[in-house]
Amino acid sequence: MDEEQRFSFDTWGFLCVEEAISPEQVRELKTTVDEKGPDLHSQHADRGGFWSQAFVDLLDVPVISNILQEIYGGASADGLPPFRIDHINIHTHGTFNKDLAGGTLHGGNGRLLNPQRAPELVTHYFARDTDRQTFANGLVTVAYELEDTLCNQGGFGCLAGSHKGHFPVPEPWRDLAKGVHPMITRVPARAGSAIIFTEALFHVTLPWTAPSTRTTLFYKYTGREESYSGPNNFFAPSDADQWQGIDERKRTILTPPPQAVIERKAELARQEQDTDAGQ
C-alpha cells in the first residue's frame, strides 16, 4: 500500500484502486456477465466452473494482491499469498438491491459488537498491530466496477469508519429503500476500478439511478486459515485446471482452509448453539 491507501483503509475501512483492470478486461467480463446473468457463486466447479479466463485472472491481480498481502499481515513464510478466495458474488440489476431501490446496511466488526463470541466464529473483523505495523483482517472484499458509478447514481455505499464502531447501526438508517441517511458515504468509481473494503465496515448497495445496467464483481477473501462460507462452498485448486496461467499462487488462493480449522469452527458453532438453546 502507499501512504494514501494505508490511511484510507485504516481510517475509513475501504480504499479505491483506479484502473485496477484494463478496459479490455472490463469489456470481456461485462460481455460474459450479460450472457450468463446474475448466477451467484457460479465460479464453483460443481456449478459450471469459472465463466472465462478473465474471471480466473481476477483471482490474483498484482496491484490488488500486493494490497491484500498487507491487509492480511504481510508476506507468508513460504512466499505464497497469505489469503484465499472465499466466495464470489455478481451484482447486477435486481440482484441484492431490491430492484434498484437500495439495499440494507450490513457488516460490522463482530469482535467489537460481540466480544464474548469465539474469535473463530467472527469472520468480520479489523485490527491493527501497532508494534508490527501490520493489519489483521477476516473477510475482505474486492469489488470490481464494470460500469462508471457516480455519487448520486448508485453503487457502493458505506458508513465510513464504522469498522471501528462498538455499537450497531441505528435501525432507521438500515433500509435504503426507505431513504438514504446523510451519514452514508457514496463511493464513486469508474469502470475498471476496484473498491477494497473490510466486511467489518457497515456497507450497502445504493439506489441505482444511472441509465446503464449495474455490473459489479465481488471477490471475497479471508486469511488462508479462515473461512466465511461453509465447506459446501469451498473452492479447490483443481477448479482452475483447464485455464491458462495457473501457478502455485492461484492454487494457494483456491485452497480451502485446513481441515482442523473447519472442525474447530464447527465444534464452536455447536457449543454456541447449545448454550443459546439452554438460555
Is the Cβ–Cβ distance between 214 and 92 less than 8 Å? yes
- Whole-model pTM over 0.85: yes
Q: What CA–CA distance (Å, rounded) separates 246 from 237?
A: 9
pLDDT tens for each residue of 136-162: 999 999 999 999 988 778 889 999 999
Q: What CA–CA distance (Å, rounded) separates 159 from 108?
A: 10
pLDDT > 90? residue 39: no
| pLDDT for 194 | 98
Q: How confident is the model at residue 26 (pLDDT cuts 50, 70, 90)?
A: very high
Contacts of 88 (CB under 8 A, 6+ apart): 41, 42, 43, 55, 217, 218, 219, 220
Helix or strand run (H / E) with residue 71: helix 62-71
Q: How confident is the model at residue 41 (pLDDT cuts 50, 70, 90)?
A: low
Q: How confident is the model at residue 181 (pLDDT cuts 50, 70, 90)?
A: very high
Is the Cβ–Cβ distance between 175 and 218 less than 8 Å? no
CA 119 to chain centre: 19
Can you read off the three cell numbers belonging to residue 177?
429503500
Higher per-residue pLDDT: 153 or 126 = 126
CA-based R_g, the chain, Å: 18
| 268 three-state secondary structure | helix
Phi-psi region of 115 (alpha: psi -120 to 50; beta: other; left: phi over 0): alpha
